[in-house]
Structure 1
Amino acid sequence: MPPTPLQIGAYLLLRPEDVQGTAPRAFYAAVTSASRAKVKVSPLPIGLSDDTIEIPRPIAEDRVVPRGEATGHQSRTWLRAAVWVTSGSTYRYGQVRGYSGNKLHIWTAQGELTVTRRQIVAEVQPIIALALGSETWNKRAWPKSRLLALHSSLTEKITALGDSNASLPTVTEWLDELKAHTAIEHLVDAQVEWVDPASGNIKAFSLLHALRFVIFKANDGHPPPDLLQHLGNSLVDEPQGFRPWINQARTQSDGEYIQHPALTARAFLSSLSDGEESDRDDPPLVRSRPLPQAQAEPAPSGIGRHDHTTQRSANTAPPSSPPGNSVLDGTAEVELIELLRDLRPDLLQLYLRRTTEHGSARLEATRHARPAVVDNNPAPLKRRKRGFYPSADQERVHQVVTSDAHRGKDGEDFMEFLTTSSLPLDFHPGMLNRAYDVGFGSKGLSIRHFGRVGYLDRLRKVASANVDTTDFTLPVPPAPTMTSWVQLHDATSGFLQYCTHVCEPITIQVATSLAKFVLHLQVWNHWLPDELPNLVLWINATLEPYRNAAAQDDTSGLTTRAAALDWFATSNPDLQALLFTTMSERSCN
């Protein structure tokens, strides 16, 4: 087969691997000459550089793009860049990994985003995107100016850690200013994923490696002896010897991950023994079994939350209540006694005696204390009559099928996120009530509810005020009638877009499988347009068992719902039976 004609003046979008890594990112170029095997191109804009690049013809033919794109905004030069983007009421961090038309596909820790060029706030350093990308940043709590200041602070700290840190810098040390706003402990040994801009290969590596590479190689810091040879050649290339070297350095240095626990089992037992018992003989089980602690109420998901655990703990018991007679204290005391009975029976009597003496002293002090004023008419907790209050069953399923970014959010916070998001869907409160736990079929939700609507149509609907969008007691609205393949494709694509924004990977895969299967059915050409309502009923009935499987997975800890990936196939016996019935009715008419 002769090669595809490649005209002089054609425009290409080239990637770093196309030019042996001589370019740091994707760039546009124009063809200046072409032979059967090779093509010469000049980077755009023409005349800015005298460089001429020679590439294989097959690569050039694969990289042809329209003239308007190459001479316009050139949005695809963002490919593989680390970016800071705006999404609804939040900011996110991620990497550009693809494009379609004038849209860019951004990979984030919360799922893929499809954005326009205008939604990209700025390009950032990859290490900033990797660290801050683990969270979504509420625009009210974290406006643009505050995040810019955070970027600057973290960048300056990288330089400072490389110049003055006497020990190996840690992720916690670098991000310590965020401790008051979000949990960062999970980032200490976090594994992250990134597309290598130079090669296009997806690499998995530790955030710790990325941080130390930037500190000591990219920023020319002053590393400890032998560290440089274990850092590799780029931020994403973590050598096999890096982790063993770090573990050895941790053993040799007390400066790495110092922890100061308030009270450990070993310290507790040592205090009871009055120094007579040696802690080197403590059974291993004592160290692995933590003392019971009060479990803090989960904070709202997302950056910008405030930790009120201390305040709640201080206000839990009334001032007049004798300390130590709460249910939680009783549970802790029973567990301590069991721990001593099983592991250190020689200290059990000493503990009981001290507890009795201490309790008597506290009780005596309580008798002479002024009685506290007790409010016998506390203000009742107000619940909005029309607010969203999911059932326990709904909540179980929601926690299984929802992405990490939204799992654990208060139900009304989740609804607020959806109703203010940029998703092109008609979010009726009755529909959201069932979308919360993907309640298809008998639960009331239909794939037809996910038909996409234009932005202007959404604005007009809100302006008409026909529906109170905050009233979640409303029933599921009637779904639009579906009479064409275009409408069905639109609905399955809308469901996939919804899942991509808020669901975990298995649910996204199921939605993807459904969207592809509907395309296959249209090509299969066994269904007439007026028979599509029957097909919609089958889709709803097939998604309902997926929801039920998710409920079972919450109890069992398994992933049986993954079997749904095989349900959307022409070999499905229920679909074959439905098609046979439909064709029989067609012949009768």
Structure 2
Amino acid sequence: MTQRQLQVGDYLLLRPEDVGGTTTRAFYASVVNVARSMVTVVSVLSGQEDSRFELARRLAELRVVPRSEATGLKPREWPRQAVWVSADSSYRSGQARGYSESKLEIWTTQGVMSVTRRQLVSDVHPLISIALGFQGWPIRAWPKPRLQALHSNLMAKLEDMGRPNRGIPTVPEWLGELAPLADITQLARAQVEWIDPASGLSQLCSLQHAFLFVVYQEMQGQPPSGLIERLGTTLTEEPGNFRAWIDRLQEQGGNGAEHQTAITAQAFLASLSDDDASDAGDARTDEQERSEITQALPAGSAQHAAGNRVSTNDDAAELELLEFLRDHRPHLLQTYMRRSATQTVSPATTSLRVRPATIDINPAPTKRNKKAFCATTDQERVHQVFMSEIHKGKSGEAYMEYLTTSSLPLDFHPGMLSRLYDIGFGSKGLSISHFGRIGYLERLRKAAKGNVDMTDFTLPVPASPVLSSWAQLHAATRGFLHYCSEMCDPTTICVAAALDNFALQLEGWNHWLPNEMPTVVLWINATMERYRNAAAHDSLSGASTRAEAAGWFSNANPELQSILITAISERSYRALNPARKVDPRRRPHENKSQGKMPAERKVPAAVVEALPHKDGKEVYFRFLS
């Protein structure tokens, strides 16, 4: 089979290395000119003149993709990007490395996972993905706005750490907020396999190298002398001597702690005010006495006293300062202790121990209210499929609070809301008749009565109202459409609109009687339950079977036709066999004996003929006197 010739209007999927690394991600392009050996393409996203590229025709023929893919969801433009995805009940960070039909293969530190395009939340900075990819982030504890705030806070810190004369920053300093969740020191030294988006090469790099590269190369910080040469040219290109150089630098920083005593002591002496100096002068008059007392104390006792002094403040610098004052400046020891008494916690200690107020990593554990809403894993997964982009990622409590305070003309019972969270129709308890419209004044009156605790989401689903007219059914379907338009994704809105239009068609079809309305409601509930099950299947398999649900609400639906035939048969039977009216004064035993044949005699006929008769009646001898 001969290969199809490349033509103008074809679509290509180009990688960064195909265009000389001028882009950082794969992109779709359309062919605008075809020559003998070269092809000119333009990016589909921008369509501008400066987005034109020329590449070899042989390479372009290998990159041809269908038009439906280039203009559809475009799952293949994500490879090599750092992404943030939702999986089950948590968020994960990783790198997209492959694709299969409509699914993407995401590499994470927990393993490779296959997700759909809908599960992609957004793309993130590669450094953030490497730093936050060491674990999953539960959606209930870490909703989307909270993770976005954490991302923004970490990026702001990167810009601040590159200012001049600051010293070389460290990963533990950058990720200090995450210290309660992981060992940041070990995380900084761990190596991660990452694919360079521009070249496609897979390399091992450490978080420490990627962190310094972003601070001083991408953020254009002011690095110390000799640092730029040791960072390489890309985030993943870590020179071989980088780790040894960092270790040697950290060792030198540790040895520099030997001079901390003199520096701290000089800072303390320089901070003495005139009053402190006068106190120190008065103290020198008794210097001999104090020195004798100090010399009389054993070295072990002095160290024990110093240890007791700093037992509440585990700071090596303070201990060294006390030892320095004891040995060299004993007359200033009282001044230092008096100042320490007025300043209970030093600023250095506060900066180490006080958690930043921007992000609360581990909120204080609180006992969950027994009446509060708690969604199951299956409910949470299906809920994320149904919700619109505005409401996706919010917690269950936020969802309930939004609906109970919304202006939708619906009667939201707590038991109904617990099933509406994942549109649990049919056997799960929800019915289309629960969506009957209610006026604003009537809603206020019901709330004023206080018959229902609107905060108790453990209540069962209320009994569904019995619909007896087409107007009531239209009000219910229109109420469900209003809810979907406010909360749900476009697919669910289309299904609700198809249901509302089909209810009007059923009334015009005039094949259903008003007393058969409960049968129609049962079929609608069963069809919506089928739609919910299709969404649950799609969330696991990545298929799109629920997109066909709008076509289920049709007169050609075989299930509806079967139910209609059964209803017509029952209607005809009732017309041909009307129910007989029974006299209520008649006793039960009279009703039972009505219509029964008399029992046959068991006496042989010959014996009956031999019996004597009188006046046409048999005579029994036992009645004779």
Instruction: Pick the structure with greater CA Rg.
Output: 2
TM-score (norm 1): 0.44
Point out which structure has higher relative CO (alpha carbons under 8 A, 6+ apart): 1
